[in-house]
Amino acid sequence: MRLSELLSKAPAKEEAQVERFLNARLAWGKHKTIEVGKVAINFKCKTCDDARTFMSGDRLSCLGVGDRVVSIDACLKCPVCEATVEAWFLVVSRDELDGQAPTVRLERYVDNRRGMARRVGVSAGAGDFDDLLERAQLAYEEQLGAGSMVYLRKIFEAITKQVADIAGIPTTGNNGARKPFRSLLQEVDERHHIIPLAFSSEGYKLFSELSEIVHGDSSEEMALRKYHPCRSLVIGIIQNVASDQDMQWAIDALGWNINGLNVPSGGAMVQ
């Protein structure tokens, strides 16, 4: 495998044995241009409004960081409109980096899309919620557990309140104060069943899980461990609302792209 193939799997942090890409040890702070093939990563190009494989050039910039660590920079380009994305990879080797066939892993990946592209497979095709889902995923990848949960909770709150407005359910009580979220969620769910069926008896429990983490009542480790299940449930709520036939006109008015929903049947998790 060439190093470019491993980098093209980003953000997956995989490990593999790759062809030799350094002829000699690269000292700390020293740059070298390497030829390891083109890096190809799929993005949703905003200019083309379609999924494209953004590709790098033949040469990448490699910086020595440690005895077995290098930093690699690449500029990826849309093959149609030529929109660009900058990508950065931190690569760690089990053995000597300048070996004949080093075993390396992608330790960290960061991209700067500059508003030109979106991650593929991160959004759910639901208008403004896509941006929050992507932010949650990026926070998770940066190991910011509480941060990722903040975005998921914002989606949960926003979609519940929007459905309440559409359904004519008051969001304030008789005294003019905002209704407790538990009460509002119960009213909304009784009318439109926004909570996935498997969790319908514990709909508020999801919000409680998110709130505990957001307010610092849980460790970052616990937040990261709970991220995928909570994300899956939040996407399930989006899917339920988008499939409600009684709300189709309202969904159109809200600008949700329900035809682009990326939620597998059977409650499978979207990553």
Comparing 258 with 233, the larger pLDDT belongs to 233
Question: For residue 79, is the peptide bond before it cis, meaning its omega torsion is within 30 degrees of 0?
Answer: no
Helices (H), ranges, the chain: 3-7, 128-141, 145-167, 181-192, 203-214, 220-242, 248-254
What residue type is 194 in one-letter code?
I
Comparing 262 with 194, the larger pLDDT belongs to 194
What residue type is 121 in one-letter code?
G
How would residue 266 be classed by pLDDT, with cut points 50, 70 and 90? very low
202, 205, 206, 211 alpha-carbon torsion, rounded to 10°? 170
* pLDDT at site 5: 94
Q: Is the dihedral of CA 204, 209, 213, 218 positive or negative?
A: positive
| Residue found under tokens 């700390």 | 28
Q: Helix, strand, coil shares of the chain as percentages rounded to 5?
A: 40, 20, 35
| Stated pTM of the model | 0.64
6, 229, 181, 205 alpha-carbon torsion, rounded to 10°? -160
Residue 180 DSSP one-character state:
P
How would residue 87 be classed by pLDDT, with cut points 50, 70 and 90? very high
Q: Is residue 268 over pLDDT 50?
A: no
Chain centroid offset of residue 92 CA: 23
Lowest mean pLDDT among 10-19, 36-45, 103-112, 130-139: 130-139
108, containing H or E segment? strand 103-112
Please give the mean pLDDT across all residues of the chain.
81
Give the pLDDT confidence of 215-254 residue by residue, as tens digits: 666 688 888 888 888 888 888 888 777 776 666 666 666 5
